[in-house]
Chains A and B, each alone.
Chain A
Amino acid sequence: MKQLRIFAILLLVTVLVTGCGYSGDMIDVVSREDGSGTRGAFSEIFKITQKQDDGTVLDSTYDNAEVTNSTAVVMLTVSEDKNAIGYISMGSLNDSVKAVDINGVAPTAENVKNGTYEVSRPFLIAVRDRENAVVEDFISYILSSDGQQVVEALGYVSSEDGSEARYTGYVKSGRITVAGSSSVTPVMEALKEAYIKRNPGVEIEIQQSDSTTGLTTVAEGISDIGMSSRELKTSETDKGIIPITIAYDGLAIIVNPENPVDNLTKEQVYDIFTGKITGWNEISTDTTE
């Protein structure tokens, strides 16, 4: 027992000593988990995942990047770690972290809308068929100018599928289950609350999980509306699910507020997230100009 403990302590000390050869401004990369809509969109925009000729997908995300399944963990990590970098939905941004410009364009809703800020993705909902009256009414609300106002009030960008017309419908009672992407959930909750105010008899249940699960449950008929933060795969549209874009969301690349870097080029983001750039000193703050 005693020898064992001494051995263990020795081991610990050796590993500690060897493990500490660390330089001051290594970048701590924080990524999301495989399969997350946010990671999918991010990796595609920055070409971190690329389709190979043989049909496989090459994901060159840095092996030593932290992986988490929670936006809060990304934000808490970046807000406390001066050397960290991560990416989150623009709707989740707050003062605890700093969003950097990409190629000199600031991540704002206007820039997403006018197309200059390229790092954005659609928020989709998906339905099996367009027959359920309550579902149809809810969708017509989402796409009406009233619904799109709710979307914009939250800092997201309205969909081009949205109409100028105001919502005029009314449903006496009904029940809808909405399931899917946790990124879309905040928008959907806001839309639900506004919709229920107009149609108090309707019950809407929101199941927060992820895009893939949401779409699968729609295909299987378990839920009525699926939420997705990425485009549908062909295997999914083959099952007869119809996607509708309800909003656009920018992805913000976030760093610690104390980090002097204000701007990154697309190439730099690619290099950081694939591990080609590992230190902040390799990024000159000149690019801020």
Chain B
Amino acid sequence: MENNQVKERGMKILFLIAACASILAVVLICLFLFANGLPAIFEIGPGKFLLGTKWDPTNNVYGILPMIVGSLYVTAGAIIVGVPIGVLTAVFMAEFCPPKLYKIMKPAVELLAGIPSIVYGFFGLVALVPIIRNLFGGSGKGILTASILLGIMILPTIISISESALRAVPRSYYEGAVGLGATKERAVFFTMVPAAKSGIFAGIVLGIGRAIGETMAVIMVAGNTAVMPTSILSMVRTMTANIVLEMGYATDLHREALIATGVVLFIFILIINLCFALIKKKEA
């Protein structure tokens, strides 16, 4: 009996330690990133670093405003492309899809979610870029192409979360609306969708997180020019691309500046996560 109690106690403590692993992980990530990135930000000057428009590592000039703007543009573009299609597809899957078709749609969306980003990037480079070039001229790389590719990549996130949000809405909402004489479409769009609003928003916020953090796909189609974009066809460099492009070569302050770029990206992600948590709280 004594032995058993020790075992019970011991295992409980082990489980507790396991539960703390994720806390430890977040603390470590923060610690390593901030310890390596913040000194560089202060050495360069926070204003110069965040608002500087010139990135010239050879001469130790590090301004990442073009990258921040690039990330924001590309993410916004991805949202414009991905959200309407994603939400409407979710509506289709939750309300309009015949069961037989659903058996194809669901695995299709899962497959879309599982395809590695390097494969998406390669596909974007060899398939999407020529299409954009033929339609709009120029090199075919830039904000527009990256937005479309990212829009595709965030589709599964938005679809699956919106779909489950729609399914969580009580059936009585729909029945009530139809009973009052609404068509199926009206019932869905004006009672079901508003009721699932916060869930759908959560999906969109997660999609934003994915889009802003995407690296390997964006680097192949965005053109990666470190200047302020002037039009939707301009090439841009995102924060993620900046890190991957130059991390290998970088030494000293240059390397720290790249890690600092990661810090800025991390802060953006934390803000997005916070929004997500707030939406979820509201929902609960």
Query: Considering the chains assembled together, what is the distance between the CA atoms of A69 and B245 in angstroms?
Result: 6
- In the complex, A64 has a CB within 8 A of chain B: yes
Using a CB-CB cutoff of 8 Å, which residues 217-247 of chain B contact chain A? 219-220, 223-227, 231-235, 237, 244-246
Contact B139 A24 (CB under 8 A): no
Contact B224 A22 (CB under 8 A): no
List residues of chain B with CB within 8 A of the CB of A211.
249
Interface size on A, residues (CB 8 A): 43
Using a CB-CB cutoff of 8 Å, which residues 212-248 of chain A contact chain B? 212-213, 216
Query: Considering the chains assembled together, what is the distance between the CA atoms of A70 and B249 in angstroms?
Result: 14
Contact A80 B245 (CB under 8 A): no
Contact A73 B57 (CB under 8 A): no
Given A15-B232, A64-B225, A66-B235, residue A212 in contact with residue B139 (CB < 8 A): no
Contact B250 A35 (CB under 8 A): yes
Contact B130 A80 (CB under 8 A): yes
Interface size on B, residues (CB 8 A): 37
- In the complex, B183 has a CB within 8 A of chain A: no
List residues of chain A with CB within 8 A of the CB of B133.
80-81
Q: Which of A26-34, A123-131, A155-163, A197-205 contacts B (4 or more CB under 8 A)?
A: A26-34
Which residue of chain A lies nearest to B221 when distances are taken between CB atoms in the complex? Answer: A73
B261 to chain A, nearest CB (A): 14
Which residue of chain A lies nearest to B232 when distances are taken between CB atoms in the complex? Answer: A15
Contact B244 A66 (CB under 8 A): no
Which residue of chain A lies nearest to B80 when distances are taken between CB atoms in the complex? Answer: A8
A237 to chain B, nearest CB (A): 15
Query: Considering the chains assembled together, what is the distance between the CA atoms of A69 and B138 in angstroms?
Result: 20
- In the complex, A133 has a CB within 8 A of chain B: no
Contact B140 A81 (CB under 8 A): yes
Which residue of chain A lies nearest to B197 when distances are taken between CB atoms in the complex? Answer: A1
Find the residue from B56, B137, B235, B237 having the highest chain A CB count within 10 A: B137
Contact A22 B248 (CB under 8 A): no
Contact B126 A76 (CB under 8 A): yes
Find the residue from B56, B84, B225, B248 having the highest chain A CB count within 10 A: B248
- In the complex, B59 has a CB within 8 A of chain A: yes
Other-chain contact of A26, B84, B138, B248, B251 (Cβ < 8 Å) = B138
Contact B139 A34 (CB under 8 A): no
List residues of chain A with CB within 8 A of the CB of B155.
none
- The main secondary structure of chain A at its interface with chain B is mixed
Contact B139 A56 (CB under 8 A): no
Contact A34 B246 (CB under 8 A): yes
Which residue of chain B lies nearest to A65 when distances are taken between CB atoms in the complex? Answer: B225
Q: How many A-B pairs fall under 8 Å by CB? A: 107
Given A5-B84, A213-B248, residue A35 in contact with residue B57 (CB < 8 A): yes
List residues of chain A with CB within 8 A of the CB of B15.
none
Query: Considering the chains assembled together, what is the distance between the CA atoms of A196 and B84 in angstroms?
Result: 57
Using a CB-CB cutoff of 8 Å, which residues 1-38 of chain A contact chain B? 5, 8-9, 12, 15-16, 18-20, 22, 24, 26, 28, 30, 33-36
Given A5-B84, A64-B235, residue A80 in contact with residue B129 (CB < 8 A): yes
Query: Considering the chains assembled together, what is the distance between the CA atoms of A282 and B234 in angstroms?
Result: 22
Contact A66 B250 (CB under 8 A): no
- In the complex, A110 has a CB within 8 A of chain B: no
Other-chain contact of A212, B58, B141, B251 (Cβ < 8 Å) = B251
B206 to chain A, nearest CB (A): 17
Query: Considering the chains assembled together, what is the distance between the CA atoms of A9 and B77 in angstroms?
Result: 11
Contact B250 A69 (CB under 8 A): no
Contact A59 B56 (CB under 8 A): yes
Contact B225 A66 (CB under 8 A): yes
List residues of chain A with CB within 8 A of the CB of B250.
35, 212
Given A19-B231, A34-B57, residue A68 in contact with residue B249 (CB < 8 A): no
Which residue of chain A lies nearest to B55 when distances are taken between CB atoms in the complex? Answer: A34
Given A34-B246, A64-B225, residue A57 in contact with residue B136 (CB < 8 A): no
Query: Considering the chains assembled together, what is the distance between the CA atoms of A59 and B226 in angstroms?
Result: 13
- In the complex, B154 has a CB within 8 A of chain A: no
Q: A19-B136, A77-B139 given; name 9 further pairs at CB < 8 Å.
A: A18-B231, A19-B232, A28-B139, A56-B59, A65-B225, A69-B219, A70-B220, A81-B133, A212-B248
Question: Which residues does A use to contact B, with CB under 8 Å?
Answer: 5, 8-9, 12, 15-16, 18-20, 22, 24, 26, 28, 30, 33-36, 49, 56-57, 59, 63-70, 73, 76-77, 80-81, 83-84, 209-213, 216
* 13 A–B contacts from the bound complex (CB under 8 Å): A5-B84, A19-B136, A19-B233, A26-B137, A33-B224, A59-B56, A64-B227, A66-B139, A66-B224, A80-B133, A212-B249, A212-B250, A216-B251
Name the 6 nearest CB pairs between A and B, nearest first: A35-B249, A19-B231, A28-B139, A67-B224, A15-B232, A33-B245
